Every structure is written in structure tokens, then in C-alpha cells.
Structure 1
Amino acid sequence: MTLESNIHPFENYSGSSRLAKPGFVVLLLVVVSVFALIAAKMQLLGIGVLFGLFLGVVYLYLLFTKPIIGLYTSVALSFILIGMGRYVKDVQVGLGMDAILILTYLALIMNKFRERVNWAPAAKDITFLAFIWLCYSLFEIVNPEAHSMAAWFSGRGVSVYMFLLVPLTLMFINSNRKLDFFLYVWGTFSILASLKGIMQLKFGVDYAEQAWLNEGNYKTHILFGKLRVFSFLSDAGQFGGNQAYTAVVATIYSMAIKNNKPKKLFFVAVAILGFYGMIISGTRGAISIPLAGFMTFFVLRKNIKVLSYGVALLALVFIFFRFTTIGQGNDQIRRMRTAFDPNDASLQVRLDNQKLLKKYLASRPFGGGIGHGGVKAQRYLPNAFLSQVATDSWYVLVWVEQGIVGLLLHLFILFYTVGKASYKVMFKIRDPLLKLKIAALISGMVGVMAASYGNAVLGGMPTGILIYISMAVMLNSEMLDIPKEEIQPNPIKIKN
């Protein structure tokens, strides 16, 4: 084998050696001339376009050099894509997620072009389950009840994103450092989302957000003259649910941080702003995320004393909302309190809708087709029965679109993941700090699963993207665990 064959395709001749090649010099002159012409003709706009192209080229270089950047980018995009749609009209911004995931796979393949990609790390049970879920979703295309391919494409994220993200996560996140960076990206954009939400609450919405409200969204986002904060996410329900989810994960994760005060303070800040975001969103169902999430964490600790204190604390929270009127003058607290009222009018409407859907779906075990359920389907099927009935709940939406068969398969995947990951935390993982990290992801996921009964939280962005990545990490924890002989007697001294 020659020396040249061992050179990485992205590490061939560079720097001054390239200038000795006439072809490169000519190409450089052509590129500079074209850029100068664009800048001269389009002036300020042209400079902006050139700067954007430059950043794009730099990003692509970094992506193809380190493909894991694509996974981190998908997390960032999951937060901002929907919000971008309010400012960029007539552009399918949602395709940005598809594009970055496909580019990441391409970068992974090209990065290992000479030595071939070793897909063994992705050969896990969660990948197999994601593939089955994808196959079932593809089957829904030929569901006789489905009448719109465009509707299916709009709901593709329910399976396609899981199938694409799980293998990438298994391939890339194989160390505590990479897991930490994933959580840093998540936490950073969660902070930005909360800060944007605070701006909406204190200073009002901007022109694009006002236009979005005027399209009819004011009916669900302005109640009794008060704004339900939605930040730059899809809606207040997704904002409140995701911020509560993030707060639970960040709170528990901060406990696993030792001897790094700035890092600990960062995740504490993420948690505090996350809980505040949950409150100002006015999303009542989001309160179930910390309740179910922290209860799960207390169980995972396998400590009777901790469990007792935890149950007592959660009981006090329940009593505060259910049996007192403390803080009733606060709009956010007053709305949260209605989530504990079994006679709430909104709850009764949801139950009535579920009765209608149960009768309709009794003879349709595969549902009405992906993208065909709920008021969102009116864009494709304005006169269909299923598009006239609000689904609200994530599980009701899956049931409506994919039938009882799809719902059972979906629930099996979720509970299998939580069950197996919990077993690992309680009996398999040796590193006490890794136990806390994985327990944080499990607890957050259980909280989202609980909240998804009342709101369509789980499948939306960014929550769905974060859940899919977390599922892969939770079931691949052995890659992050330290060897038994390296465990120190005092867990505080362990460094990741």
C-alpha cells in the first residue's frame, strides 16, 4: 500500500503547496472575481449572500470532517425551525431537519470512505424497534382510509426522524464528553427559548408572531386577555412541555456534576428558566412532567428515605394546586390549578371527543392515516370527519392516525425503552455519576410520556428529537460506563 493511499480524502495537500498548482490559482481567481461581481451588483444584500455562502462552506467542511456536528445541529434546528416559519414565508423550513440528517449520513459515509463505515455500534435493539416503527408508518401510505400523500409527508416525523436519529446517536455519542456536549446544546437553546418567552411576556410579541396569532392562533394563545407564551416554538403547549422536560433533566443532571462549579451553575440555570418557561406558557398538562419525572427518579434511586421525602414533596405540590387557593391572583398559577380539576370544561370536551373517535375507529384498526387526524389535517382534508375533531392528546393522535395497532406498537417501544433503561440504572451501571445522568434522561422521558396524555408533546419539535436521541443514549449506557477496576471508593472524586 502506498503512502498516498493512506491519506485521508479531506486531508490532501493544503496551504502553500496548493498555490504551486496553476489549476488551483485559476480557480481561486475565478471564485474571487465572481464574489466581487456579486458584491458590486447586489451591494449590501450581495455582501450578506456572500457571507452566508462563506459560513455554509465552512460549516460543510466541518460537518464532513466531524460528522457528529450534524447530530448537534439537528438538536439546535429542532428548537428554531418552526419559529423560523413565522418569518420566512412560502419556504418549507421543516425540510431543514430532513436535509441536515441526510447530510450527516452522507458526511459519515464520506468521512470513512477509504476504510468503510463500521455500523456495528448501531446494531442495537432500539435501532430494530425504530425500523419496525418506520415500516409500520410506511404501511400507512397504503391504508385504505388514507387519501392524501401530502398529509402523510407532513406527519413523517413520527417515525422517520426516530429511524434516522437513533443510529446516528449510537454511532456518535460513545463517551461522557460527547453526552455532555449534547446536553450543553440542549440546555443552551432551552435558555434562549425561555428568554424569548420572557420577552413575549414582558414586552409583547413582534410583527411575525402577531401575524401568526391573527391567523387564528389567538383563540388558544390569548385567554381572558392574557398571552400564553410560546417563544420561538410551535405553540404554547410544546413550549411549556419541552421546558418542563428540560428542567427535570437539568435538575437531576446537575446532581451528577462534581468539582465543576460553572458547569453545575449552567444546568441549575437551565432548570430554573425551564420551570419558569413551563409556568408562563399556561400549559396546564406540563405540570405532570415534573410530578411524574421526579417520582420516577425517586424510584430509580432505590432509597426508601429518598423515596419517602420525594413522595411527601410531590404530595405537597398536589395539595397546593388541588385543595388550596394560594396564589389564585396569579394568572399562571390559576391556570395551572385547573389541571387538577376533574370537572374542568376543557377536560370534558376532550373526553366527549374521544367517545366520538372511539365509535369511528372501532372498525378501523389501522386508523385513518398519518397526517389525517386533528384540525391540522384540515389543510389537506378540510371535509373529512377526523379533521373536524380535535385530538389534543399525543396518544389520541397516534390512535386516530395509526389505529389501535399503531398505538400499541408505539406504547410498547416507549415502555420497553424506559423499562430496560431503568433496569440498567438500578442494577447494571457501575459508575454512580452515570447512574444519575441516565436517570435524568429516563425521568424526563417518563414525564413527557405522562404529559402526552393531555397534550401532543412527545411528537413535536424539539421534544420528539430530544426523546429519540435520549432513547438511544439510555439503551447504550454500557458504552459510557467505566470499567469496574477504575471505580473509586468516593464517587465525588470521579471525573468524567
Structure 2
Amino acid sequence: MYSQQAKRNTVIYLFILLWVIAVPAIAYISSMDAKFSIALFGAIIGLGFAVVSAINFRLGYYFYIVVSFIIHVPERMAKTTMPVGVVMDLFLLLVLAGAIFDKKNKEKSNVEFFKDPLLLVLYVYTAYMLIQCFNPNMFSIQGWFIFIRVYIRNFIFLFITLKVLNGWNDIYKFFKFWLALTTAAALYGCLQQAVGLLPFERAYIAMNPDKFKTVMIQGRARIFSFMADPAAFGVLMACSTIICIVLLTAKQAVIGIPKKLILIFMIIVHLLALGYSGTRTAYVMLPVGLLLFFLVNLHNRNTLIAAALFTFGMLALLFGPFYSNPTIIRFRTAFMGSQDESLNLRDVNRHGIQPYMYSHPIGGGVMTVGNDGVTYNPGHRLAGLQPDSGYLRAVLELGWIGLIIVCLYTYMGVHYAVKNYFREEHELNKLLLIGIAAVLYAILVAQYAQEAAGLVESSIFLNAILGISIKVKYNLSKSK
């Protein structure tokens, strides 16, 4: 007991010492080189997080999610490109090491890792991704290494989720943390809309032509908060809004009035941020996800009220006398069509590349499509072709065989969540499970128009709720 307490005290003293050294060091270096001071400050903070993660991997799990959200802020402040992917990989490996060598929890997991259907599909997909290394249609293997590194990162995160979230209390903590984090992102996004992008954000966008094209639309800036881009921000705002609306329909005995007022505040902030993001795919995700929830819960009075209010709000935005607000105008184009040339170009690209899909059952190879193809496989038939769809990218890079596996995996995720919902009895648990199913279904549909599941932030949430769905399946079976 004494040795453990001594170790904790030593870590605390080291952490305090690092901060004491950091304050004058950063102040001195800042006067000479701002970029280096930001890098040094980030390194010291990261070292502190790394130490904590090695001691408590559960806390490190949440640190990793926060770092993944805000890691692009130092990059923008420094006005330079940083190896953010490497930082995330190292951080996650520390969390994994903490989970492997954790001596406090010796209880074996009841998840059947080698029998579970969803995990078996995941293993097949992993094997298929490894086989893609030998795809003869690729010009270079460099892109495959980049992709497989990101894939392994998501793979590890899923299994750490199974280790961290052991029961319903852990799941409650996760959703509280997640909604608090996305609310903070939404509030910052609303601040960006109110006062404009900060100087360092404008400077970073101006120096990056690709970022400028995606952020500046028709003379206005799409809001991205502290996330990677407006698309990632919009998708997460839609996902969190769905969860909040689902929870709002709970009975007063389950979620009291004070907490419902907080949920209403979260919904308003998330909806505003969603609108400011300018992500049309995310606009569609919201009604699609809620449609599944409404259909399953038509017997619930609160659900009917929520459905009526949501329908009225949608109709007001689509057909109301609002003709000068650019956010509402862009929202309408997601549902009512427009003369936007970018939408027409997407349809032309999809029809023109169909013969390639039919003639390449294993695809053109990983990282051969779009800008990735230009970078890693220049001269490839798919290089420069913008898929603007997760399914189109999958069928082009992995072939129709890979697309079948991807579709099966996404279907299994929704199937698990819906099945868990009908097997659960506690109302709050049922709402969380149907909320997960609604989010998964919304992402599944959104994949048709955008690579919604492949964004860093959205992939974290997607793997987290998939892990919850798997864990709940075995927790329920164990308790009954």
C-alpha cells in the first residue's frame, strides 16, 4: 500500500515539476520563436497526459478523445503542418499499454472475441485490408502503409472501448463526457460564427488552398470549431443532437426537469452549430436518424410530441419566409435540390466510373482515389477522382468484394443496437441503445453522400458506440 502511494506521490511531484519548468521556459522561448514555443508547450502537456495514461488507462482513454478533438488547434496556431497522426498513434499505444499491464482489474471479459459475428466480420475485413498490400492495381505501397496505420488505430480504439466500458455506469459516464465535449465544441463554433474566425485560424486557412476551398463557400466561412474541418464538425453535431433529442423523450421519473432543461440547451446549441457548419450531409443525417427512433417508439407519448415538434421545425425551415439567411438557404439545398454545380459533378463522376467498378472486383488499391491517389499513386486511373461518398470510395479502392464486407459490417452494427434495445428493460438504457441505433443508421445513410465514417472525429465516436453495442450484448446475456 505504501509503495503504491509513494509511486502516486512521485508522479504528482514530477508533473508539478514539469509545469514549474515549463512556465519560464515557454515564456523565454516565446520571445524568440512562437512556433517552437507552441511545440514545446504541447510536448510538455503531452508528456503529462502520457504519464497519467500509463498509470490510469481509463482516464487516458478519455484524454485520447480530447486530444483527437483539439490536436489541430496547435497546428493552426503554429501556422504549419504537424505530424498529428503520429502523436495520436503514440498516445493510443500508451493507453493500450496501460490496459494490457493493468493489475487492478483481473476479471476476464465475457465477450466472445472469436465467436461474436460482428467481430468475425471485422476480422475478415482486417484480413482483406492486409491482402490489399498485394493488389496489383496499385502503383505504390506507400499509401497502403499510411492507410493501414490509421485502420489499426481505429481497431485498437474499439478494443480499448471494450476494456474501459465494463457496465452501464461506465456507459453513462461516457455519454456524459461525450455530450459535454461536443457541447463545448458547439459553443466554440457559435462563438466563431458570432465574432468570426480568430486571426490564427484565418491565417492558417489562407495559407492552405485545399482548406480554403472547403471552408469558404459563397463568401462565408463554414464553421469548424476546434475540429479538423467543417465536415467532421457537422457530422458530430448531428450525432450528438440525435442522442440529446432521444434522451429528451424520457419520462420525468427517469430524467428530471433540470436535466431536461440542460438537454434542451444542448439541442439548441448543437442545432445552431450544425447549421453554421454548412455540412449538407449532416443536415440529412438528423431527420434520417430520428426517423428510425420515431418509428420504433410511436407508442410513446413523448416521442409523438417530439416528432410533431421536429416535423413542424423542419417544415418551417424548408418552406418558411426566410430568404436572406445563407445558413437556411444551404440547409434547403440539402433536401430540395439546387443548381449547385458540385452536386451535378458528383453524379457525373459516379456514372462515368461505373465500368471500372465492374471490371475490378478487388478495386484499384488503397489510397488510389482522389487527392490521396494524386499523392501516393500519381498517374492511376482513379487519381484525382473525387468520390464524395464512403461507399463509392470503398468500391473503387477495395472492389465490390470489399464493399460487400463494409456493408455487412455496418448492417451488423445497426442490428446489434436494435436487438439490444428490444432486449433491454430499463428505460434510460433503452433510450441510449435506440439512440446508438439511430446514429449508426444516420451514418450509414450519410456514407452515400460523404465519407462520414472515415473522418477522424466521427470514426472515434463510431467505434465507441460499436464497442458499446458489443459489450451490452454480452452484459445482457450474462444478467438474464
- One fold, TM greater than 0.5? yes
1:98 aligns with 2:118: no
3-state DSSP class of the match of 1:387? coil
- Select which of 62, 68, 76 maps to 2:52: 62
Partner of 2:233: 239
Partner of 1:228: 222
Name the amino acid aligned to 2:213.
K
1:180 aligns with 2:175: no
Partner of 1:492: none
Residues 90-239 of structure 1: matches in 2 within 5 Å? 90-112=81-103, 118-121=108-111, 123=113, 124-156=116-148, 159-214=151-206, 215-216=208-209, 217-239=211-233
1:462 aligns with 2:470: no
3-state DSSP class of the match of 2:228? coil
Residues 1:371 and 1:242: Cα distance change in structure 2 (over 3 Å): same
Shift, 1:262, TM fit:
5.4
1:440 aligns with 2:435: yes
Bigger Cα Rg: 1
Q: Is the 8 A contact 1:143 1:368 kept in 2?
A: yes
Residues 1:54 and 1:387: Cα distance change in structure 2 (over 3 Å): closer
Residues 212-291 of structure 1: matches in 2 within 5 Å? 212-214=204-206, 215-216=208-209, 217-256=211-250, 258=254, 263-291=259-287
For residues 261-319 of structure 1, the C-alpha deviation after alignment (integer angstroms, 9 at most, x for no partner) is 55544443332221111101111221211111111111222628777767666665665
Partner of 1:11: 4
* Number of aligned residue pairs: 463
Partner of 2:377: 381
3-state DSSP class of the match of 1:402? helix
For residues 313-335 of structure 1, the C-alpha deviation after alignment (integer angstroms, 9 at most, x for no partner) is 6665665566x353122111111
Shift, 1:405, TM fit:
1.3
For residues 200-223 of structure 1, the C-alpha deviation after alignment (integer angstroms, 9 at most, x for no partner) is 222222344223432223333222
Q: Is the 8 A contact 1:78 1:462 kept in 2?
A: yes
Name the amino acid aligned to 2:231.
G
Residues 1:369 and 1:430: Cα distance change in structure 2 (over 3 Å): same
1:329 aligns with 2:324: yes
3-state DSSP class of the match of 2:76? coil
CA distance in 2, matches of 1:316, 1:255: 17
CA distance in 2, matches of 1:35, 1:308: 53
Structure with the higher helix share, 1 or 2: 2
Shift, 1:482, TM fit:
11
Name the amino acid aligned to 1:164.
I
Residues 1:363 and 1:321: Cα distance change in structure 2 (over 3 Å): farther
Partner of 1:24: none
Residues 1:139 and 1:253: Cα distance change in structure 2 (over 3 Å): farther
CA distance in 2, matches of 1:441, 1:314: 19
Shift, 1:393, TM fit:
1.4
Residues 380-419 of structure 1: matches in 2 within 5 Å? 380-419=376-415
Residues 1:422 and 1:224: Cα distance change in structure 2 (over 3 Å): same
Partner of 1:341: 336
Residues 46-85 of structure 1: matches in 2 within 5 Å? 59-85=49-75
Name the amino acid aligned to 1:327.
F
Q: Is the 8 A contact 2:289 2:439 kept in 1?
A: yes
3-state DSSP class of the match of 1:86? helix
Deviates more, 1:231-240 or 1:289-298: 231-240
CA distance in 2, matches of 1:464, 1:57: 25
Partner of 1:420: 416
Shift, 1:418, TM fit:
0.5
Shift, 1:152, TM fit:
2.4
CA distance in 1, matches of 2:334, 2:42: 46
Name the amino acid aligned to 2:228.
S
CA distance in 2, matches of 1:117, 1:13: 26
Q: Is the 8 A contact 1:122 1:170 kept in 2?
A: no
CA distance in 2, matches of 1:169, 1:38: 33
Residues 1:270 and 1:98: Cα distance change in structure 2 (over 3 Å): farther
CA RMSD of aligned residues (A): 3.7
CA distance in 2, matches of 1:353, 1:159: 27
Q: Is the 8 A contact 1:242 1:463 kept in 2?
A: yes
Q: Is the 8 A contact 1:247 1:271 kept in 2?
A: yes
Residues 1:348 and 1:320: Cα distance change in structure 2 (over 3 Å): farther
Shift, 1:183, TM fit:
1.7
1:366 aligns with 2:365: no
Residues 1:140 and 1:268: Cα distance change in structure 2 (over 3 Å): farther
Q: Is the 8 A contact 1:328 1:334 kept in 2?
A: yes
3-state DSSP class of the match of 2:456? coil
TM-score scaled by length of structure 1: 0.81
For residues 336-373 of structure 1, the C-alpha deviation after alignment (integer angstroms, 9 at most, x for no partner) is 11112346443221110001221223211122222221
Name the amino acid aligned to 2:352.
L
3-state DSSP class of the match of 2:285? helix
Deviates more, 1:90-99 or 1:238-247: 90-99
CA distance in 2, matches of 1:476, 1:37: 43
3-state DSSP class of the match of 1:413? helix
Shift, 1:255, TM fit:
4.1
CA distance in 1, matches of 2:23, 2:337: 63
Residues 1:378 and 1:317: Cα distance change in structure 2 (over 3 Å): farther
CA distance in 1, matches of 2:20, 2:123: 49
Shift, 1:465, TM fit:
0.7
Residues 1:36 and 1:65: Cα distance change in structure 2 (over 3 Å): closer
Shift, 1:75, TM fit:
2.0
Residues 1:395 and 1:304: Cα distance change in structure 2 (over 3 Å): same
CA distance in 1, matches of 2:397, 2:8: 56
CA distance in 2, matches of 1:38, 1:444: 42
Name the amino acid aligned to 1:110.
F
CA distance in 1, matches of 2:279, 2:47: 41
CA distance in 2, matches of 1:318, 1:111: 49
CA distance in 2, matches of 1:260, 1:239: 29
3-state DSSP class of the match of 1:159? helix
